[in-house]
């Protein structure tokens, strides 16, 4: 029987007979995907000054990464790399949309990132970007007193770690 599921991180719905192992929109793990009536999703949170600064920085990280990945999807010299970077770009853009909602912004800002034509250079840069994002999200999550903000940072650490493994596997 087909059911309606919802991701508690990005808030997007999914139709299927079972929940996906990862949110098809933001990449959140299965533990964050619930039947729509059981999902607890809110972007209306009160931010401390520290949480606001961390959310603003997270938005910049995600915009930058999405822009880089979309560039790499167009320019990289490897067909599988093109697909990987396109998928990563979509997920990072969804992460930016999460922070846009938290920060109550009308739209996601645009980025201005460059990329490489050599796939291995893009994979190396991807690895560096994901490593920096994970470190920042762990720190920001640990600093937050807001359970929702902390939940988002913790979920993003898991997702970005998945992305890190994707680049590591291809760099071997």
Number of domains in the chain: 2
b vs e for 65-78, b when ≥16 Cβ sit within 10 Å of the residue's Cβ? Answer: bbbbbbbbbebbeb
CA–CA distance, 15 with 31 (Å, rounded to integer): 17
Two tokens at 61? 């990280």
**Direct distance between the N- and C-terminal alpha carbons of the chain, in angstroms, rounded to an integer:** 42
Q: Are the CB atoms for 123 and 81 separated by under 8 Å?
A: yes
Would you say residue 82 lies in a domain? yes
List, for residues 46-64, the tens digit of each pLDDT value: 999 999 999 999 999 999 9
| pTM for this entry | 0.96
Whether residue 96 sits in one domain with residue 58: yes
Whether residue 150 sits in one domain with residue 77: yes
Report how far apart, in Å, the C-alpha atoms of 152 and of each of 111, 145, 160, 167 are. 22, 12, 12, 23
Whether residue 69 sits in one domain with residue 14: no
CA–CA distance, 125 with 120 (Å, rounded to integer): 9
Q: What is the pLDDT of residue 10?
A: 98
Neighbours of 27 (CB within 10 A): 25
Whether residue 152 sits in one domain with residue 127: yes
List, for residues 11-36, the tens digit of each pLDDT value: 999 999 999 999 999 999 999 999 99
Whether residue 53 sits in one domain with residue 10: no
List, for residues 108-146, the tens digit of each pLDDT value: 999 999 999 999 999 999 999 999 999 999 999 999 999
CA dihedral 71, 74, 75, 76 (to 10 degrees): 100
Average pLDDT score over residue span 69-93: 98
What is the span of the domain harbouring residue 165?
49-171
Whether residue 86 sits in one domain with residue 8: no
Would you say residue 71 lies in a domain? yes
Two tokens at 74? 């167009």
């Amino acid at each position: 029987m087909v059911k309606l599921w919802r991701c508690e991180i990005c808030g997007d719905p999914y139709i299927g007979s079972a929940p996906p192992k990862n949110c098809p929109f933001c990449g959140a793990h299965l533990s964050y995907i619930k039947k729509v009536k059981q999902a607890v999703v809110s972007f209306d949170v009160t931010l401390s000054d520290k949480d606001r600064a961390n959310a603003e920085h997270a938005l910049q990280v995600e915009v930058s990464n999405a822009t880089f990945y979309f560039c790499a999807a167009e320019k990289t010299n490897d067909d599988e790399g093109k697909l990987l970077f396109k998928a990563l770009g979509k997920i990072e853009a969804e992460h930016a949309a999460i922070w846009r909602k938290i920060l109550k912004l009308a739209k996601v800002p645009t980025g201005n990132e460059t990329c490489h034509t050599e796939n291995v250079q893009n994979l190396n840069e991807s690895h560096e970007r994901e490593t920096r994002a994970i470190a920042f999200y762990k720190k920001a999550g640990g600093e937050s007193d807001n359970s929702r903000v902390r939940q988002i940072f913790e979920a993003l650490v898991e997702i970005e770690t998945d992305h890190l493994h994707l680049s590591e596997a291809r760099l071997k």
